[in-house]
Amino acid sequence: MVYTGKPSRGCQMCKSRRIKCDEKRPICGQCQKSGRTCPGYQDEFDLVFRDENKAMQRKANKSTGSSSKAGSSQQGSPSTVSQSPQFESPFSTSSYTVGPSPGFTTPSPDASQDLDLVVIPPHTTPPDQATFQAFMWNLEHAVPPTLQLPPEFEAVPFFFRNFVSLPQQADSMRGYLELIVPLYNQARPSSALHLATNAVALAACGNYPGRQDLLREAVTAYGKALRKLKEDLKDPQIAKSDETVLATLLFSLYETIMSTDDTIAAWANHVDGAVALTKLRGTDQFKDPMSHAVFRAVRTMMITSCVQRSKPVEPFLGQNNTMGWVATDISEENAANRLALLCIDLPEIRARANALTNIPYNPAQEAEARSIMQFAQMVDVNLQQWYQTLPPEWQYRTVDMVYDMPEDVSQALSWLGPQHAYHDVPLASIVNDYRVCRIFCQRVIMACMAWLGQGASGQLSREYHHAMYVIQQMVDEISACVTFHMNYDWQPVAKELGQERNAAEAFGGYSLVWPLYVASNAETVPQRQRDWLSGRLFVIGMKFGLSNAQVLVLARRHVLTCSPMFP
């Protein structure tokens, strides 16, 4: 309602003569003196609830400087409907346009000069009924079509739901994905970390069927993130921040998901960049818990990269060996990080083994072969001790038994024998990495023994057969947990937390990629079991929208769980 002043309670005659009425009853004193017939007084109800339409119209006309032209303006306006004394609205003007779809309209620059009164008769249909109904439906059920959110508004939540899993136990914390949440919340939307997360999320979401259009957005976001990081590296303080280091690690994940021709080189370059920044941060990073966690994540990725490229680990803080990367007493690390540290010598073992086995047998190199074998056996013993010291909740339990397999084993859901379940997927994934580590140690031993066998006919056959036995045992245990990883009904923690079935199974499937790849490429494993393992890899790719090339790259890089393994 518009306030039009205090209502006059005088008689109608005094109001028309614009004189003060003495409001005497039943006849006004002014009318009696002048000999006029008093028409009486207005009803009290009408005084309180009086028609303000004309006052509103006068006010609108006055504000536009067209009080004297109100009538003609209404007749000439294309948006004006026939006037009615029942309802008049000053809020619709001829300068507002209505498009074919509902949404918010914007006045023209000279709207204040062209403001016209639009009058809609009561109880009649508005001029554009279809538009009005569509607009009301959108208000109640959906976002108006004219409000288009950026694609990362959908992709980022998808990425966090499907790829970022926060382990429930402190001993299973490892890698860098679990560090994204706190640092992402602290960072600015324009930061390199936010932009890198957007690029990774768009790439992950764009790999799903029907969403390939997001891959173009991912490339654009990736370019913005790289430019922002290049700018940040010019500032020594920002360059050494946790956000910058984590953004660099996310770039390696982006390269893996996109799986381009330059993926391997780009992935390694990003890891090397994160290592360089970590070394630049020095020992100050150990004073802050978050910075120390970022250090551990970089260390794990560095070990992975070094093993992949048969490149020895670079010294840290002037140390002439790998001990500088330990940073603290190994007993102070959690179980997941202790496993990583036990594998820190694997890059050197593999580099030496490759150098030896790529040349013909030479008696002068026998000492080197035996030294490599002893080194690998020492790491294997340390791995066994690590497994034996795990708490009971890390151990598997047998929940089912499979006795028969179909003729086409690649389509079977489970492998023959016992089926294992674990407390949660992160714990099972770490235990699988332990098994993969042992497989590689045994493969190094077998390679050295085969090289030695060229000159001394089978004198080390006992150790060779023991290595075959250990590899088969590890592959069987990996096979036994496949159903747990890919079946939501077998994951009690996922149910307790109310996780989505698809999200939980996606994380379990991705966690299986690396151990399945390693197990399926173990030469001593029976071909039928290798076919089944390869079939499970294919199913993971099909179920979660990955191509064969992307599954292969994910397996070889193992970036989703950041474990120090090599093919």
pLDDT digits (tens, 9 = 90+) for 364-397: 999 999 999 999 999 999 999 999 999 888 999 9
Contact 57, 87 (CB under 8 A): no
- Higher-pLDDT residue of 558 and 214 is 214
Range of the domain at 427: 345-567
The pLDDT, as a whole number, for residue 455 is: 67
Report d(CA 457, CA 72) in Å as an integer: 113
Total of domains in the chain: 3
DSSP structure class, residue 395:
S
Report d(CA 322, CA 306) in Å as an integer: 12
Does a structural domain hold residue 507? yes
Does a structural domain hold residue 503? yes
The pLDDT, as a whole number, for residue 372 is: 94
pLDDT at 261 over 60: no
- Higher-pLDDT residue of 457 and 503 is 503
Model pLDDT for residues 29-79, shown as the tens digit of each residue: 888 888 888 888 775 545 544 444 555 455 545 544 544 444 444 444 343
DSSP structure class, residue 399:
E
pLDDT at 542 over 60: yes
The pLDDT, as a whole number, for residue 58 is: 58
Query: What average pLDDT does the segment 435-463 reach?
Result: 82
Q: How confident is the model at residue 328 (pLDDT cuts 50, 70, 90)?
A: low
Model pLDDT for residues 203-252, shown as the tens digit of each residue: 877 766 677 788 888 889 999 999 999 999 999 899 999 999 999 989 88
Whether the ω angle into residue 26 lies within 30 degrees of 0, i.e. cis, is yes
Amino acid at 44: E
Q: Do residue 300 and residue 159 come from a single domain?
A: yes
pLDDT at 188 over 60: yes
Does a structural domain hold residue 101? no
Looking up tokens 């990073």 gives 285
| 3-state class (DSSP) for residue 400 | strand
| Cα 320 to Cα 170, 307, 477, distances in angstroms | 31, 19, 38
The pLDDT, as a whole number, for residue 503 is: 67
Residue that finishes a domain, picked among 65, 86, 108: 65
Mean pLDDT (the chain) is 74
Burial bucket for residue 161 (CB in 10 Å: 0-12, 13-18, 19+): middle
Report d(CA 255, CA 269) in Å as an integer: 10
Contact 328, 286 (CB under 8 A): yes
Residue that finishes a domain, picked among 65, 89, 116: 65
Those residues with Cβ within 8 angstroms of residue 122's Cβ, 6 or more apart along the chain or in another chain: 84, 86, 87
Q: Do residue 548 and residue 466 come from a single domain?
A: yes
pLDDT at 106 over 60: no
Locate 528 and state its tokens: 């039928």
The pLDDT, as a whole number, for residue 34 is: 82
Contact 50, 7 (CB under 8 A): yes
Q: Do residue 331 and residue 448 come from a single domain?
A: no
Q: Do residue 198 and residue 49 come from a single domain?
A: no
DSSP structure class, residue 67:
G
Does a structural domain hold residue 119? no
Residue that finishes a domain, picked among 338, 355, 387: 338
Return the H-helix or E-strand segment holding 477. helix 461-480
Amino acid at 506: A
| Cα 230 to Cα 238, 239, 244, 249, distances in angstroms | 11, 9, 10, 14
Contact 225, 247 (CB under 8 A): yes
The pLDDT, as a whole number, for residue 557 is: 46
In this structure, how many other beta carbons lie within 10 angstroms of the beta carbon of residue 486?
23
pTM of the model: 0.64
Model pLDDT for residues 270-300, shown as the tens digit of each residue: 888 999 998 888 888 888 889 988 988 888 8
Q: Do residue 214 and residue 362 come from a single domain?
A: no
pLDDT at 513 over 70: yes
The pLDDT, as a whole number, for residue 558 is: 46
pLDDT at 508 over 90: no
Does a structural domain hold residue 133? no
The pLDDT, as a whole number, for residue 385 is: 95
Does a structural domain hold residue 95? no
Q: Do residue 219 and residue 356 come from a single domain?
A: no
Find which of 15-19, 87-91, 241-245, 347-351 is predicted with most confidence, using mean pLDDT.
Answer: 241-245
- Higher-pLDDT residue of 416 and 267 is 416
pLDDT at 91 over 50: no
Q: Do residue 317 and residue 407 come from a single domain?
A: no
Q: Do residue 450 and residue 538 come from a single domain?
A: yes
Q: Do residue 334 and residue 396 come from a single domain?
A: no
CA atoms within 13 A on the CB side of 355: 14
Report d(CA 285, CA 245) in Å as an integer: 12
pLDDT at 255 over 60: yes
Does a structural domain hold residue 418? yes
The pLDDT, as a whole number, for residue 482 is: 95
The pLDDT, as a whole number, for residue 533 is: 93
In this structure, how many other beta carbons lie within 10 angstroms of the beta carbon of residue 241?
21
* DSSP sequence for 173-230: --SSGGGHHHHHHHS-TTSHHHHHHHHHHHHHHHTSTT-THHHHHHHHHHHHHHHHHH
Model pLDDT for residues 127-157, shown as the tens digit of each residue: 444 544 554 455 345 445 455 677 777 788 8
Portion of the chain with pLDDT greater than 90, in percent = 23
The pLDDT, as a whole number, for residue 7 is: 67
> Taking Cα atoms as reference points, which of 274, 321, 281 lies closest to residue 302?
274
Q: Do residue 396 and residue 328 come from a single domain?
A: no
Contact 277, 269 (CB under 8 A): no
